A and B are shown apart, each in its own frame.
Chain A
């Protein structure tokens, strides 16, 4: 069975640009969460969606937004990119509220 898939795997942008990252959860999983992992640190929670509704939001600026589609896939959007947005962006999915999260391999975003 396919795991959590994320695209693209790598991305290079310049300051001020906009980026969209995509995530497909494990088949049957209805919950998707996004995390940012800066080099040398643990992942930081950005958003969580369940059944297309936002269930949680971390301490990130409004430049960050996300949505979940009817097929449970998800997009993370970041506007007005800053150098500090350079990081590995991880998507995780879970079957439901009583199941652990499973992570994809992430999208490595570099801002020049």
Chain B
């Protein structure tokens, strides 16, 4: 069965600092991987996706993620965090158009 682990429940960074959110997955085949962001009381917005090809994928809002098969990881990065990035971030694995398996999320707090 597929699973996703987000080891960090809560991360605090200063505005302008770099960010890396960790995601490890377990999946029997080549995974499709996603990062979503959720602001309080809202739904999930797709940040980026990995289907195949280049292992470094670019997303919206200046985010990027790198797929590392050997480490079963798909970490999310941003070089300079803005206060508006404060939200909950979810990593997900699954087949495109089918059920997604989500991690438990990482809550990002940004200090001024």
Contact = CB atoms under 8 A, between A and B. Distances in A.
Interface of A: 4, 31, 33, 35, 40-45, 48, 50, 55-56, 58, 90, 92, 94, 96-106, 108
Interface of B: 4, 34, 36, 41-46, 49, 90, 92, 95-105
A99 B96 contact: yes
Contact of A100 (B42, B46, B103): B46
A73 B45 CA distance: 20
A94 B90 CA distance: 18
Given A42-B90, A100-B34, A106 B103 contact: no
Given A42-B4, A56-B98, 5 more contacts: A41-B104, A45-B99, A45-B101, A92-B44, A101-B97
A58 to B, nearest CB: 7
A43 B105 CA distance: 9
Given A100-B34, A100-B49, A103-B36, A45 B43 contact: no
Contact of A56 (B49, B96, B99): B99
A102 B102 contact: no
Contacts of B46: 100-103
- Of A40, A42, A97, most buried by chain B (CB within 10 Å of CB) is A42
- Of B43, B44, B90, B105, most buried by chain A (CB within 10 Å of CB) is B43
Contacts of A55: 98
